[in-house]
Amino acid sequence: MDGLLYREDIEQVRERLSAWWNGGDIGRPVLVITVPRKDPLEEIKEMPKPLDVVCPQYTMRSLAYRVNYGIRSCASRVYLGEAVPAVSPCLGPNCVAAYLGSETKEGEDTVWFEPCIKAPETARFSFDPANRSWVFQLELIKEYLKFSKGKFLINFPDLIEGLDTLSAMRGTEPLLMDLIERPDWVHQCLENITEVYFKYYETIYSLIKDQIGGSQFFVWARGRTSKLQCDFSAMISADMFNEFMVPVLSEMTSRIPYTWYHLDGPAALRHHELILRLSNLLMLDWVPGDNSDPPEHPRWWPIYHKTLDAGKRIHLYFHQFSPDGINQMKKEFGTRLNKFVLQMDLDSPQKGETIFKMFE
């Protein structure tokens, strides 16, 4: 099987990741590392940013610019370890809400989703092929496909599900009241969101899957994959999480073979035990949160041990280059560190070499 222009050894990467996802040990952690590319492999002329574009990575204001920006971003990096070159067609961190009617508002580095359910009786969760965001989504993916063959893959967009999607559509404070005043309505909304989620998911998967059926949301898997989450959970009790969100996660992890859960910040840790009980969930992504200790800090090690003891794997993203911190983790976890994904986007090849030498 041929390699990719931006990852000639892609078949070896697939073999390592396939073994790892299925419980194997590749002799070190999975290392998803990128560094700047010094010499371009192809000439891609930069398109000027349109005046009305605020957030290049998520904008829907110019299809041509989004395509150019995405391809140049992908081509500007070297992919090391188990990193797979891919472009992102994401419209923001809650795409399903946009497909279902939430309008997006661009910020400098993110997109905000405007509530679209003003009253419970107006809630609609039907698949609308003419929805503006959905139409743009498909156009963007199809444009990427024209350029990607033999070069790179296409990431899943950040779809999101459950209470986070409903919160984006309803508004945070109204939904908190709904949980108390109309729980049956919330349950029905969540069931409807899950049902329509898979209509979007399967359409996107059919377009972006590689030649062996693999897909990725930053970590490649040999089949369907998804990152699941509930940032809204920081505002509710474990009992409410168990009642409203666990059924959603149970359903989704039963239907998607390679799933991982994004646990964001100390306020969400009260749900850790419930998440670990999801028998089909394979991996936990821990994000310490803003203004908190970095992921390698010993403060978080008990969480990692508990997660590993439950048979789950762990994904960590490092915003800072921290070889000393990773060395400390090597001493603490030993060969159990091989059950981690360590992801980082570094600013020099030399830093990448430093990380790999630690595991020789």
pLDDT at position 291 over 90: no
Q: Is 1 part of a structural domain of the chain?
A: no
Looking at the chain, the whole-number percentage of residues with pLDDT higher than 90 is 98
Q: Is 2 part of a structural domain of the chain?
A: no
Residues 329-355 have a mean pLDDT of 97
- H-helix or E-strand containing 134? helix 132-148
Q: What is the pLDDT of residues 120-175, one digit of tens each?
A: 999 999 999 999 999 999 999 999 999 999 999 999 999 999 999 999 999 999 99
Gap between the Cα atoms of 175 and 89, Å rounded:
29
For the beta carbon of residue 2, count every other beta carbon within 10 angstroms: 9
DSSP at 46: P
Q: Is 180 part of a structural domain of the chain?
A: yes
pLDDT at position 352 over 70: yes
- CATH of residue 73's domain is 3.20.20.210
SS3 category, 71: helix
pLDDT at position 251 over 70: yes
Residues 63-70 have a mean pLDDT of 98
Q: Is 4 part of a structural domain of the chain?
A: no
pLDDT at position 1 over 70: no
Domain that includes residue 30, residue range: 10-357
pLDDT at 81: 98
- For the chain, give the mean pLDDT: 97
Do 296 and 325 meet the contact criterion of CB atoms below 8 Å apart?
yes
For the chain, what is the domain count?
1
Gap between the Cα atoms of 168 and 103, Å rounded:
10
Gap between the Cα atoms of 80 and 354, Å rounded:
12
pLDDT at 124: 96
Residues 47-64 have a mean pLDDT of 97
Q: Is 5 part of a structural domain of the chain?
A: no
pLDDT at position 2 over 90: no
